[in-house]
């Protein structure tokens, strides 16, 4: 079967592209390697998506997904391995299937970056986490450390104060990167503490659970130890563009380059959302990208 559009990734960007394409009567396949929702599934409270003063990430995921079923969007599990461009027709390869399509929308987003410190791998899921909404409840009345100074670190640290006895943000500079409104709320939170100009050097434990960390002050060089049971790491994102790396559409860091209408340099292949080279990675911007790409893909098919 030949699809009009295959969308790789069912985050907010991919789901919006599917919504718009299906409403234009296009035959759409949404390929996703996990649950629909993307990074929203790892997000506690969302307070900047228009229409909701506050909504939990997994709930917004479901609300975006529900209408797609009624519109006949085919949603299939699959880890996309590669993509082949044959001009008017393109192929998408998963581990066990090959799909044919006229257009492709790459909506594979980004994933958390690891710090690469001693103990991070060893204590993964045993005290080290990258997802407050998934793991926060395991740290009731415990000492929690959050690494990073961006929106994710600060917002998720505030969420973790519901559980932890104390939550401390460790940031490598003396100024946060997070949006000002988020910073202001964080500074007012009595359960939230900050350690500035400091990096995490090592995570230690008894082999089963995290017990302490070693920190280094970048200005004084001083090394200190802190007893903690939970370490949440939010030090930025890396693009999930491996499945299209052979197409020559990414920059040196792996972000996909597009024009303002989401076209890559390959006709009929579009990229949207966090995987795209852009300044503002948000649900609202991913959703906007998705609508634009679907509309451009419709025009492309009409002209074929």
Q: Cβ of residue 3: shortest distance to ligand FAD, in angstroms?
A: 15
The least distance separating ligand FAD from the CB of residue 223, rounded to whole angstroms, comes to 29
Q: Provide the 3-class DSSP secondary structure of residue 127.
A: coil
SS3 at position 99: strand
Closest contact distance (angstroms) between CB of 224 and ligand FAD is 27
Choosing from 4, 135, 151, 289, the catalytic residue is 135
Beta carbon of residue 272, minimum distance to ligand NAP (angstroms, whole number): 15
Alpha helices of 127-255 — where are they, by DSSP H? 132-135, 151-160, 180-188
Tally Cβ neighbours within 10 Å of residue 134. 14
Spatial distance between the Cα atoms of 140 and 162, rounded to a whole number of angstroms: 8
**CA Rg value for the chain:** 21
Residue 259 falls in the annotated catalytic set? no
Q: Which of residues 228-287 bind ligand NAP (CB under 6 A)?
A: 234-237, 281-282
What residues numbered 28-57 form the site for ligand NAP, per CB under 6 A? 48
Respond yes or no: is residue 135 known to be catalytic.
Answer: yes
Q: Minimum Å distance from CB 275 to ligand FAD?
A: 6
50 burial level (CB within 10 Å; 0-12, 13-18, 19+): exposed
User: Which lies closer to ligand FAD via its Cβ, residue 40 or residue 200?
Assistant: 40
CA distance 209 to 119: 10
Helices assigned H by DSSP within 111-189: 132-135, 151-160, 180-188
Site residues for ligand FAD, 71-90, by CB under 6 A, read 79-80
Q: Which is nearer to ligand FAD, 42 or 212 (CB)?
A: 42
Q: Which is nearer to ligand NAP, 28 or 115 (CB)?
A: 115
Long-range contacts, stretch 246-252, CB < 8 angstroms, 24+ apart: 246/82, 247/83, 247/85, 251/277
Among 27, 46, 177, 301, binds ligand FAD (CB under 6 A): 46
From ligand FAD, ligand NAP, none, interface partner of 32 (C-beta below 5 to 8 A by class): ligand FAD
For residue 11, state whether it binds ligand FAD (rule: CB under 6 A): yes
What residues have CB less than 8 Å from 226, skipping those under 6 apart? Answer: 143, 145, 168, 212, 213, 215
Tell me which of ligand NAP, ligand FAD, none is bound by residue 236, counting a contact when its beta carbon lies within the kind-specific cut-off of 5 to 8 angstroms: ligand NAP
Q: What is the DSSP string of 45-81?
A: EE--STT-SSEEHHHHHHHHHHHHHHTT-EEEE--EE
Catalytic residue among 4, 85, 96, 134: 134
Among 5, 10, 145, 154, binds ligand FAD (CB under 6 A): 10
| 266 counts as binding ligand FAD under rule CB under 6 A | no
Distances (CA, A) of 170 to 173, 196, 224, 287: 9, 6, 12, 32
Distance of closest approach, residue 116 Cβ to ligand NAP, in angstroms: 8
- Interface with ligand FAD (CB under 6 A): 8-14, 31-34, 38-40, 42-43, 46, 48, 79-80, 107-110, 152, 156, 240, 243, 273-274, 281-284, 286
Active site residues: 131, 134-135
């Amino acid at each position: 079967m030949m699809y009009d559009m295959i969308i790789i990734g069912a985050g907010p960007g991919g789901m919006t592209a599917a919504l718009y394409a299906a409403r234009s009567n296009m035959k759409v396949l949404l390929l996703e390697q996990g649950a629909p929702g993307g990074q929203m599934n790892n997000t506690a409270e969302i307070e900047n998506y228009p229409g909701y003063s506050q909504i939990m990430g997994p709930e917004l995921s479901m609300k975006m997904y529900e209408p797609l079923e009624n519109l006949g969007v085919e949603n299939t599990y699959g880890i996309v391995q590669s993509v082949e461009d044959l001009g008017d027709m393109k192929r998408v390869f998963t581990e066990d299937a090959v799909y044919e399509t006229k257009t492709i929308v790459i909506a594979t987003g980004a994933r958390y970056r690891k710090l690469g410190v001693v103990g991070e791998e060893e204590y993964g899921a045993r005290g080290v986490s990258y997802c407050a909404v998934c793991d926060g409840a395991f740290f009731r009345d415990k000492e929690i450390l959050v690494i990073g100074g961006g929106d994710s670190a600060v917002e998720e640290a505030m969420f973790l104060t519901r559980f932890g006895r104390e939550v401390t943000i460790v940031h490598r500079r003396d100024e946060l990167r997070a949006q000002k409104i988020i910073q202001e709320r964080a500074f007012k939170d009595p359960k939230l503490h900050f350690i500035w100009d400091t990096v995490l050097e090592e995570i230690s434990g008894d082999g089963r659970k995290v017990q302490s960390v070693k920190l280094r002050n970048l200005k004084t060089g001083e090394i200190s130890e802190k007893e903690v049971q939970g370490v949440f790491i939010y030090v930025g994102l890396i693009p999930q563009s491996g499945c299209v790396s052979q197409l020559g559409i990414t920059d040196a860091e792996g972000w996909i380059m597009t024009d303002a209408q989401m076209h890559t340099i390959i006709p009929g292949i579009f990229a949207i959302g966090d995987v795209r080279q852009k300044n503002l990675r948000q649900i609202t911007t991913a959703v906007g990208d998705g609508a634009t790409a679907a509309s451009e893909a419709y025009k492309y098919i009409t002209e074929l």
